[in-house]
Structure 1
């Protein structure tokens, strides 16, 4: 093995000292900025990266009394148990279908509301509509389920009372596999339409108003301006939100479904999270719950990476 000459070793040591000195100078120069970043950095390290050690539970036959170190290693057992379960394809299909329905039918109303509000010239009327539409976002799903029951209950619901007044038979909306998914989608849209429109309204303010003036001079109406200026102007935001939603495609909204579903509609709305809650949490199978959570995270990461790469391929900025 050859050794470096003394001169080269001294030069390398001098260069290393120079780099270290420069970094220290930068650190001292911006010390107050780094101090501002420190709390957020500590939060991420402690509460985001620290718990990653618990992911090892997915590969153990975990017992709370033995702890992670005392539990036996079982490898991919719980992943196989989940995938070989007779409910696997049903809950996976329900999860994907409900998530896709929420993305397809949930993003469009947000964009339409933002476009409509953007056309409103009376600021007081615009503020009232915004307030009324984003207020439901702050309601819990338990409260929203109470509102849904008030409208759709087979015995006391307003909708069924109207159907009976018109000579029709009442419909058990909340116990029907044909209706329940659409109830989930409709309540989700009503809850978050105003909140989602805020993001698009913020994006609309960044569009150069001179483009609209030039389009007006050229004789373009409001529809053509919307199609050729407004929608292309917020396309990057739409793509960004779509990519983020794809990362949570295996979530499908546990809180909403758990608050609203019942055993009669398991066939159409029992998702991965509700199944894991029953099998993993209620039955104290923490390893199963962790394994499925890790499975979902990996799939979500792959979807985000794929969607981001696809967005860049078609000329959008993506997430990074």
Structure 2
């Protein structure tokens, strides 16, 4: 209470995010009861009849659910393995640049795609990568090469999905690591230079250990999201020709819940997804604590 009286302005500022999380994060959790009811929009949540675990039995009997779950894990795993290290590498390389204006320019160019809507990015992808009308394939065919079905063949679509995602998000991740790099003591670099350490040695023994806590935290968060995936990116890049590899949990829930109005089934899938994500998050946290005694908490 003494701390509150002395710093009431700071606690007042804390009140706004607290109210936000209560209203938009915790109160909506009451909606998970829909997964255990035969929900009728006219009767409402409380008046709808209770069906217990029947919705989950139906979900686990759907072939489409397992296909979407598999694709979610595969795409997230590829994003983690291929996309996660790229912001780290970019941040270290930018940190080594000595020309300040060039460093700022490259940094700005890298993070600008983060602010572009996925709808716009999807339109750009079609204009650039379409098999017959895309700019890239028109250039390839003009040189006598064969057109590449970037968006119409499953294997090419996966690589296109990964590449576009990395282009959109790598710059923003780079900013996080650059911010972490500012906290490294500059005296360490000077001492290493006196000892004759090369630039590569300084990156390996000072820079990487300096941002290790940030890497661990972001890695745990990414592992916690293995069972979930954003709706925008797979939806705008998907098409009927690659639906077998592009259908993920978020788009599947959209089709089941919104297009088919099966709200109970959609809620059950969402609850299952949240529970699996929580298990992944806690497992990654526990593993990180066991290995290097670092984690989120």
Judge same fold: TM > 0.5, yes or no.
yes
For structure 2, the residue ranges without an aligned partner over 5 or more in a row are none
- Are residues 1:84 and 2:61 paired? yes
Contact 1:236 1:316 in 2 (8 A): no
Q: Distance in 2 between matches of 1:82 and 1:311?
A: 33
For residue 26 of structure 1, report the CA deviation from its aligned partner.
Answer: 5.9
The answer as to whether partners of 2:59 and 2:265 remain within 8 angstroms in 1 is yes
Q: Secondary structure at the match of 1:207?
A: coil
The residue number in structure 2 matching 1:265 is: 242
- After TM superposition, the structure 1 = structure 2 runs for residues 172-251 of structure 1, keeping only pairs within 5 Å, are 172-251=149-228
CA distance in 2, matches of 1:270, 1:211: 49
Deviation per residue, 1:52-85 (Å, 9 max, x gap): 2111001001011000111111111111211110
- Whole-angstrom distance in 2 between the partners of 1:34 and 1:173: 52
Q: Give the stretch that moved more between structures: 158-167 or 256-265.
A: 158-167
Residue of structure 2 equivalent to 1:110:
87
Distance (whole Å) between structure 1 residues aligned to residue 229 and residue 242 of structure 2:
15
| Distance across 2 between alignment mates of 1:272 and 1:26 | 46
Q: 1:161 to 1:30 in 2, by over 3 A?
A: closer
Aligned-partner Cα distance in 1 for 2:116–2:4? 45
Distance in 2 separating the partners of 1:193 and 1:29 = 42
User: In the alignment, which of 85, 90, 101 is matched to residue 124 of structure 1?
Assistant: 101
Q: CA deviation at 1:36?
A: 3.0
Q: Aligned partners of 1:254 and 1:277: how far apart in 2?
A: 9
TM-score, normalisation: structure 2: 0.95
Deviation at 1:97, TM superposition (A): 0.6
CA contact 1:99–1:252 (8 Å) conserved in 2: yes
Deviation at 1:88, TM superposition (A): 2.6
Cα distance in 2 between the residues matched to 1:226 and 1:207: 12
* Secondary structure class of the residue paired with 2:144: coil
Q: Residues of 2 paired with 1:300 and 1:134: CA distance?
A: 28
Unpaired runs of at least 5, structure 1: 1-22
Partner residue in 2 for 1:97: 74
Rounded Cα–Cα distance in structure 2 between residues aligned with 1:164 and 1:28: 72
In terms of mean alpha carbon deviation, does 154-163 or 193-202 score higher? 154-163
Residue 295 of structure 1, aligned match among 254, 260, 272: 272
1:197 positional shift: 0.2
- Between the aligned partners of 1:29 and 1:110, the Cα distance in structure 2 is 41
**For the pair shown, which has the larger CA radius of gyration, 1 or 2?**
1
For normalisation by structure 1, the TM-score amounts to 0.88
2:65 and 2:252 in contact (8 A); partners too: no
Match of 1:147 among 119, 124, 130: 124
How far 1:281 moved relative to its partner?
1.4
How many equivalent pairs are there? 297
Give the CA deviation at 1:133: 0.7
- Closer/same/farther in 2, CA of residues 75 and 191 from structure 1, 3 Å limit: same
CA distance in 2, matches of 1:236, 1:28: 34
Displacement of 1:172 in angstroms is 2.3
Name the Cα RMSD after superposition.
1.5
The alpha-carbon deviation at position 183 of structure 1 amounts to 0.7
